[in-house]
Amino acid sequence: MTKKRASGATFPPALAWTDALVAELSRRFAVLVADMGATAADPVLKGVVITDAEIGGILSNQASKQYSLFVAGSLMQQLVEEAPKSSAHLLALQQRFHLSGFEMDCLLVCLAGEISPKFERVFAYLNDSMAAKLPGADILLRTVAPGQLSLQALLGRDAPLLRYGLLSSVDGARFGPYRVAGGGGRSALQAGGLAPGVSAAWGNGAVAARG
């Protein structure tokens, strides 16, 4: 049975790698939330702000599995190891566009909100704003490569993820927030092929290898 989002796009049933992605990101975000520290929230603000108790429920208090370091590329690698068959097209996407492990991890984090709406509230919590339901460069770096600020350049407007139409930056902001562009989302979810711009780069060999 397919799933249909409000936008009208039809996505296939959950793939094995999407289940692995949701589980792993839930653990990683739980660690980030725990690191932010618990603060008491006024109950009258429920629905206006996201409380620590609510975010703990969303993430099922999975901070019990601690991470001393999130390594760039480890998220993508974990999906390949846990779901080798269903993630094969992700490897094809990575190879065709010469994306690094960090870039693939960022694409997957941005895709999380499309796969499980609960992550929109997690992003809002981490952004400290109910209106900010998408990840920016700060959240991406903290989730997949904390402390490696030099990698932020791979999230710029001229970098492959945005140049080839896999991600888009909301309102053209320099470093996000980001959403998965139509082509990137459909390709990753195997739902209806690539958007024209991504398809052109894919089919015409317009993507040059990076040194």
For 57-89, what is each residue's pLDDT tens digit? 444 444 444 544 588 999 999 999 988 888 888
Q: Containing H/E element for 193? A: none
Task: Judge whether residue 4 has pLDDT over 50.
Answer: no
* pLDDT of 174: 79
* pLDDT of 67: 46
* CA–CA dist 70, 77 (Å, integer): 12
What mean pLDDT comes out for the span 31-43? 60
Burial of 6 (0-12, 13-18, 19+ CB in 10 A): exposed
What mean pLDDT comes out for the span 112-135? 87
172 versus 101: the higher-pLDDT residue is: 101
What mean pLDDT comes out for the span 93-102? 91
What mean pLDDT comes out for the span 13-39? 77
Burial 120-143 (b: 16+ CB within 10 A, else e): bbbbbbbbeeeebbbbbbebbbbb
* CA–CA dist 168, 181 (Å, integer): 6
* CA–CA dist 37, 59 (Å, integer): 15
Question: Using only C-alpha atoms, what is the Rg of the chain?
Answer: 17
* pLDDT of 102: 96
* CA–CA dist 78, 91 (Å, integer): 12
Mean pLDDT of the chain: 73
Q: Please identify which residue in the block is written with the tokens 């390709």.
A: 187
Global pTM value: 0.73
**Number of helical (H) and strand (E) elements in the chain, helices listed first:** 10, 4
Coil, strand or helix: which one is 169?
strand
* CA–CA dist 158, 120 (Å, integer): 26
Number of other residues whose CB lies within 10 A of the CB of residue 200: 14
Residues 189 and 12: beta-carbon distance below 8 Å: yes
Task: Judge whether residue 200 has pLDDT over 60.
Answer: no
* pLDDT of 86: 82
Q: pLDDT band at residue 107, thresholds of 50, 70 and 90?
A: very high
* pLDDT of 183: 60
